[in-house]
């Protein structure tokens, strides 16, 4: 166990002591700081040698990886042609689906117009029928 001397009273004390047991004065600065929330947090001490070693060792490795990694993925021409053909077929399918949606929309519009014309003709026929019944009824009422 290591020992040291108190800088205020000269008492021989344990090296891990922060406050002298004889005079009660603080010998070393506490490694604790008070943050804004009132909580006590421990100050972290970094080993600068380790930091420099890691910086000098890992930075070149990272740069080598960045510089040496493949920029493009090389694929066989057959695979590329198959991908291109699949992409073209997919585009054709998308265009066909779009054409089908347009034709369905047009067919719905034509059907709605046709049904509207039929409803108009039915309404006219009902009005004419009612007028004829009214005229026939008036004829029987005056006779």
Q: Are 10 and 16 in contact (CB under 8 A)?
A: no
Torsion of CA 11, 14, 15, 18, to 10 degrees: -80
**Alpha-carbon gap, residue 96 to 102, rounded angstroms:** 10
**Alpha-carbon gap, residue 27 to 30, rounded angstroms:** 9
pTM listed for this prediction? 0.35
Neighbours of 82 (CB within 10 A): 12
Cβ neighbours for 75, distance < 8 A, ≥ 6 positions apart: 83
Domain range annotation of the chain:
1-30
**Looking at residue 111, what is its pLDDT?**
94
For the chain, give the number of residues: 143
Q: Determine phi and psi for 96, rounding to 5 degrees.
A: -65, -40
Q: Determine phi and psi for 47, rounding to 5 degrees.
A: -90, 105
**Looking at residue 29, what is its pLDDT?**
67
* pLDDT tens, N- to C-terminus, the chain (143 residues): 688 888 888 888 888 787 888 888 887 765 555 555 555 555 556 677 777 887 788 888 878 877 887 777 778 889 889 999 999 999 999 999 999 999 999 999 999 999 999 999 999 999 999 999 988 888 887 76
**Alpha-carbon gap, residue 77 to 75, rounded angstroms:** 6
């Amino acid at each position: 166990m290591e020992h040291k001397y108190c800088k205020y009273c000269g008492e021989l004390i344990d090296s891990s002591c922060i406050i002298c047991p004889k005079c009660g004065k603080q010998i070393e600065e506490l490694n604790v700081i008070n943050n804004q929330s009132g909580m006590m947090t421990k100050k972290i001490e970094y080993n600068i040698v380790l930091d420099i070693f890691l910086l000098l060792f890992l930075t070149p490795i990272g740069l080598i990886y960045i510089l040496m990694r493949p920029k493009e993925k090389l694929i066989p021409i057959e695979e590329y042609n198959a991908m291109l053909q699949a992409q073209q077929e997919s585009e054709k399918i998308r265009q066909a689906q779009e054409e089908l949606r347009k034709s369905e929309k047009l067919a719905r519009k034509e059907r709605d117009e046709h049904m509207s014309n039929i409803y108009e003709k039915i309404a006219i026929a009902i009005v004419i029928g009612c007028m004829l019944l009214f005229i026939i009824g008036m004829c029987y009422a005056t006779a």
